[in-house]
């Protein structure tokens, strides 16, 4: 039975491709932080962007069109691609993050593969470690392969790390990857971030 399970894991890794993710650490956190993270994960607000200003809506649609063109090779299905980008934009903004930075992080972490699985067990687009589903979720780790859940977890966790590091994105990215203090991962994300910058009209 163990041999069969090992073979299934190897096959899954070959199908999904392994991802570049460090071993995020389960850190002690105040109950208030844990509760805030838990609330941010379970918030059922709709992911559709809403605008009161027509110029903001035009900017958003321009961003969506440009990012869709850039992402076409990685996500060829137009409906999947647009849903993914709408969710990235919503979850990034909701967490106070630049959507371009989140796209850069996803590029480095999973190369935009929904079912990416790292050697240390991190799941999905943003390579969320399964322990987070227990710490701030409902313990259902399978949800980490759900697009919105994965992006919500990833953005919320990164926001927490940025706050923990008092705004130091370099250290926060290292903490997100489990390689705090080492330059390779933050530098890779910061480099990828520039590729996803949007030139406003």
Q: What is the pLDDT of residues 90-122, one digit of tens each?
A: 999 999 999 999 999 999 999 999 999 999 899
Q: What angle do CA 124, 163, 174 make, to 5 degrees?
A: 50
Cβ proximity of 156 and 165 under 8 Å: no
Count the neighbouring beta carbons within 10 Å of the beta carbon of residue 38.
15
The Cα 118–Cα 108 span in angstroms is: 12
What confidence tens digit (pLDDT) does each residue in 181-193 have? Answer: 899 999 999 999 9
| Distance separating alpha carbons of residues 103 and 189, to the nearest angstrom | 9
Cα-based torsion angle of the residue sequence 98, 101, 107, 110 in order, rounded to the nearest 10 degrees: -70
Domain 2-19+29-195 annotated CATH 1.10.530: yes
| pLDDT: which is higher, 19 or 181 | 181
Band of residue 23 on the pLDDT scale cut at 50, 70, 90: low
Write out the DSSP string of 73-122.
TT---HHHHHHHHHHHHHHHHHTT--HHHHHHHHHHHHTT-TT-B-TT--
Predicted local distance difference test score (pLDDT) of residue 29: 54
Give residue limits of the domains in the chain.
2-19+29-195
Phi-psi category of residue 52: left, alpha or beta, with phi > 0 → left and psi -120 to 50 → alpha = alpha
Tokens of 83: 């849903």
Q: What is the DSSP letter of 12?
A: H
């Amino acid at each position: 039975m163990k041999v069969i399970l090992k073979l299934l894991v190897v096959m899954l890794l070959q199908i999904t491709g392994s991802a570049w993710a460090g071993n995020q650490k389960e850190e002690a956190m105040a109950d208030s932080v844990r509760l805030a993270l838990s609330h941010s994960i379970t918030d059922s607000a709709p992911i559709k962007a809403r605008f009161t200003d027509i110029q903001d809506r035009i900017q958003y649609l321009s961003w969506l069109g440009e990012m869709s063109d850039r992402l076409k090779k990685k996500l060829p299905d137009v409906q999947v691609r647009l849903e993914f980008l709408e969710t990235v934009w919503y979850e990034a903004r909701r967490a106070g993050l630049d959507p371009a930075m989140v796209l850069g992080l996803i590029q480095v972490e999973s190369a935009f593969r929904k079912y990416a699985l790292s050697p240390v067990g991190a799941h999905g687009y943003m390579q969320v470690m399964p322990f987070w589903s227990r710490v701030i979720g409902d313990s259902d780790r399978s949800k980490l392969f759900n697009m919105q859940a994965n992006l919500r977890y990833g953005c919320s966790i990164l926001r927490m790390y940025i706050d923990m590091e008092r705004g130091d994105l370099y250290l926060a990215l290292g903490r997100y990857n489990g390689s705090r203090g080492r330059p390779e991962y933050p530098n890779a994300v910061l480099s990828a971030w520039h590729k996803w910058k949007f030139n406003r009209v």
